[in-house]
Amino acid sequence: MKMARRSTRRTVARLAGGALLAPALLLGLDAAPVAAQSRLYVHAFEQASGALVTDLDRAEVIVREDGIVRPVVDVRLANLPARVVILVDNSRRARRGLDRVREGLQYFVDRLPPYQEVSIATLSPNPRWLVQGEIEPEPLREGIERLGVGGRSLRLLDGLVMAGEWLAEDSGPFRGVLVVISTAGVDRSRASTQRFTEMVEQARDAGMRAHTLLMQPLNPNVLRRGVTLPEAVGRDLETYTEGSYRRASLGSDLRDALGGIADRILERNRELARQHLVRYDRPPDAPSGTVHVTVTRFGVRYVVSTDGKSTH
């Protein structure tokens, strides 16, 4: 995928048509089709003064793919409200680390902006919400304190599907942020990997970022075993949502690791506050093409990217 170049009138970007979904990397699933609706990020500023442009509308943006005009569905400021969903492995395997998880989660929540929406769910013996859509500090603190040991079974895939379905119920504009705190235990989920594939596709198309913290015991045998499903899921979510994946010792202090995830969320907020999100329709079976973006407003320079990362 080629990064966008600077231009006063047009920017060219190469889109990957047929990118693999997360489970295809390590779980051996087939590639999924390209989404029918694609997205780009436009950082626009006045050529004369350098002042940021924050009021582009749909009529001022033209998207062409290999010369074919694609319908622009929406143009809006990219820093949409974030909805943070945290999934916590509370199985017996994680018991030794739960005090540290509670401590780290409180530190994480305290670093987020005021009135940031946060939801928390546990993954054993079945996925269960502790807190849903909460913005007040006290209910979040109480939810974290209720985090206790569950059963033997870890149901990570089931929890991911539950979180994806809950977020999909909201038709309003928002950015999903997923935080997974898990051991590398055996997953006993009922959900199929195909259902997980669909969830990841929807999350990627919606611009979700996923951050995984994998807790492992200090055991030399860990280095000689194969990759477990929680590890595969964490690595793939990092790759295909441009999130993060990190390991920590089970029972160790997690404030630094979870604080780092909070910092990533804050940095993403700052990046997107300077940009517009452009969504446009394309045929789901169309091959990869060269995309030209034109902003028609006079005197405006702009930079286009496919990931919304800092552009200067």
Assign residue 193 the CATH number of its domain: 3.40.50.410
What is residue 288's predicted lDDT score, i.e. its pLDDT? 79
Q: Quote the CA–CA distance of 164 and 168 in Å, as a whole number.
A: 6
Does 2 reside within a domain?
no
Run means of pLDDT, 10 residues per run, the chain, 312 residues: 38 33 40 61 96 96 95 95 97 96 98 96 97 96 96 94 90 90 92 82 84 86 71 90 94 97 96 95 86 96 88 52
The answer for residues whose C-beta is within 8 angstroms of residue 97's C-beta and 6 or more apart is 183, 215, 250, 251, 252, 254
252 and 128, same structural domain? yes
Tokens of 169: 């119920």
Contact 209, 241 (CB under 8 A): yes
Does 23 reside within a domain?
yes
Q: Which residue has the tokens 């060269």?
A: 290
Phi-psi region of 165 (alpha: psi -120 to 50; beta: other; left: phi over 0): alpha
94 and 67, same structural domain? no
What is residue 170's predicted lDDT score, i.e. its pLDDT? 84
Identity of the residue numbered 225: R
146 and 28, same structural domain? no
What is residue 285's predicted lDDT score, i.e. its pLDDT? 84
Does 1 reside within a domain?
no
170 and 118, same structural domain? yes
What is residue 37's predicted lDDT score, i.e. its pLDDT? 66
The answer for residues whose C-beta is within 8 angstroms of residue 81's C-beta and 6 or more apart is 117, 173, 174, 175
251 and 199, same structural domain? yes
Q: Quote the CA–CA distance of 185 and 108 in Å, as a whole number.
A: 24
Residue 161, phi then psi, degrees to nearest 5: -65, -45
285 and 220, same structural domain? no
SS3 assignment, position 88: strand
What is residue 246's predicted lDDT score, i.e. its pLDDT? 96
What is residue 223's predicted lDDT score, i.e. its pLDDT? 53
Residue 100, phi then psi, degrees to nearest 5: -70, -35
259 and 227, same structural domain? yes
Does 312 reside within a domain?
no
Does 61 reside within a domain?
yes
72 and 135, same structural domain? no
Does 4 reside within a domain?
no
Residues 51-88: b if buried by 16+ CB within 10 A, e if exposed: eebeebeeebbbbbbeeeebebeebeebbbebbbbbbb
280 and 265, same structural domain? no
Residue 73, phi then psi, degrees to nearest 5: -85, -40
Does 5 reside within a domain?
no
57 and 104, same structural domain? no
Cis peptide before 23 (omega within 30 of 0): no
146 and 264, same structural domain? yes
Does 62 reside within a domain?
yes
Residue 85, phi then psi, degrees to nearest 5: -120, 125
Query: How many domains is the chain built from?
Result: 2
Contact 127, 182 (CB under 8 A): no
45 and 164, same structural domain? no
What is the value of pTM for the model shown? 0.84
Domain ranges, residue 242: 82-269
